[in-house]
Amino acid sequence: LESMARESLPVLTRVLVLLLGAVIELNADTRAFVSPQPLRLITMPRGCRAASALCHPQQPCSGLARTSDSRCTTNNDHQHRRCASLAMRESGNGVTPTAGTDGGMQWRFLRHNQWEPYDAAASQLLETAIAASEESVTLTLRTTSASITSGNGTCDYVVSLDTSTQEFLETGAFSQRNARSGHIRAIRRAPAVAFQRIAVPELFEAPPLEPLAAEALRTNSPLLLRGGTFSLREELNVGTNGFVFKICGPGKIIGDAHTLFKVGGNRAMLDAEHVEFVHVGSEKRRERRELGAAVFVLGKAQAAFVNCSLTSEQGFGLWLSQQARARAEGCRIADCGRSAVVMFGHGALNVTGSNISAAGMHGICARGNTRVIATGCRITAAATRGVFAYENASLQLSSCAVSGTRDARLAAVQVESLQPGDRATLDMDEQCTFEGNLGVDLHVAGSVRCSETVEKVYGVRPVASALGEQRGKSWAGSF
């Protein structure tokens, strides 16, 4: 027996070593999916698409389909409608994560900083589409919000499966667009372990901004971010009369309060340079139908942004009310759940060399006696209108490009003044351009004073009727 034990010891030792190595390798694989850059993209020949969306570093993608080579099969039908009766819960409570057909891969969409799972039927349709190298697919899904807003309780979502987009190359995420509202969510296909962390970990892991902001406000000194990321869980008020609160980047401020910064004191001012304002959604605000904004300026307060980024998952990027003033230079206002910029009362906006993109409603919406001066800006992919000015609003566009609006019933730039006593103004130079808008490029209606170029260059004169639903003065409208 002793002899047999001595002979078997080396074998047992080797078995233990092999098992330990397997555990270490498994842990390494798990960490690869949980790390901030968990997945590696496989470099493919030009004209090829991967049938597998995300690739593990040790498991290269397979099933490449070359579209530019006559020897390879091509799939020209990239737009398919899936009209099965599906259910997509808009809350993760009680939802069991569902796997795709490829070894436990899951499809999930981003909602309120959490990756929520599709049900099995939707996951299967997405898996089939990506296996066939389709670039997009339309899903008809039954959601809790659609049960309120539509008769049959369903809504169409266009899922982009294009692996050449900048978003996919940087984050490994596809996108899902609500065909009715234009709201865009990120979606991902990955193993279950990749979704164990929250989608925006900075919200909970980053140091709080409040202590630094309180000290800067107390000492009347600039807030220096020094390249860091900070969380802001409560609305920060800049309300002291005449006070200038300066924030110097580079750096990121991320939060889920009703509004990140509320600037409301008489002549108070928020002055930001190289700052990224990220306003994420929250279930609490959604239940109360509160939209909020990344930055809200009201009263006679002012705001100035230089090389800044403003985003809001379910609200506005920049919100101006009463006699607020704002100036933006070289900024990005993008991916807002509602309009990127909204203006009420006598607010004024001067925006130069900036990109306003992917708004859930309008790129810029100005009503009342507001004034907008936009120079050298790109306004792209708004769900409804690129710019909407009405009542007594004044709009001046110089060397601006408006493209990719997604509502065929409305205009890319729409100016209307149809109520008694109202008079709007539209001034455009010869350098403005329009491209790829689903609706008409320019529509002017009612008592609107136009510059000569509006008719001579763009061939548009004021007409008597509104395009779409006419806005009443007593109604705030959709922003």
End-to-end CA distance of the chain: 84
Instruction: Find the angle CA(88)-CA(90)-CA(94) to the nearest 5 degrees.
Output: 85
373: which 2 tokens?
């001066």
The pLDDT score that the predictor gives to residue 404 is 94
What residues of the chain score a pLDDT lower than 50? 1, 5, 17, 20, 22-102, 474-478
Q: How far is CA 201 from CA 36, 113, 212, 215, in A?
A: 10, 8, 20, 25
Do 176 and 109 form a contact (C-beta atoms < 8 A)? yes
CA–CA gap between residue 74 and residue 89 (Å, rounded): 35
Contact residues for 161 (Cβ-Cβ < 8 A; gap 6+): 53, 126, 129, 130, 134, 135, 136, 137, 174
Determine the 3-state secondary structure of 429 from DSSP.
coil
7 Cβ contact list (under 8 Å, min separation 6): none
Q: Per DSSP, what are the bridge partners of residue 191? A: 105
Contact between 216 and 245 (Cβ < 8 Å): yes
Distance, CA of 218 to CA of 232 (rounded, Å) = 18
**H or E, element range at 365:** strand 364-366
Contacts of 268 by beta carbon, 8 Å cutoff, 6+ apart: 238, 239, 240, 241, 242, 243, 244, 245, 299, 301, 302
- For residue 45, the model assigns a pLDDT of 30
For residue 70, the model assigns a pLDDT of 30
Q: Among candidates 465, 478, 241, 262, which has minimal Cα distance to 382? A: 478
State the pLDDT at residue 199: 53
Size (the chain), residues: 479
In this structure, are residues 321 and 344 in contact, taking their beta carbons and an 8 Å threshold?
A: yes
For residue 379, what pLDDT is reported?
98
How high is the pLDDT of residue 183? 66
* Radius of gyration of the CA atoms of the chain, in A: 26
β-strands 394-398, 424-428: how paired? parallel
Question: Whose structure tokens read 């008719």?
Answer: 455
At 234, list the tokens.
Answer: 């409560």
What are the distances in angstroms from CA 249 to CA 7, 225, 273, 282, 439? Answer: 67, 5, 6, 26, 39
SS (HEC) of 96-143: CCCCCCCCCEEEEEEECCEEEECCHHHHHHHHHHHHCCCCEEEEEEEC
**Spatial contact of 386 and 409, defined as CB atoms under 8 Å apart:** no
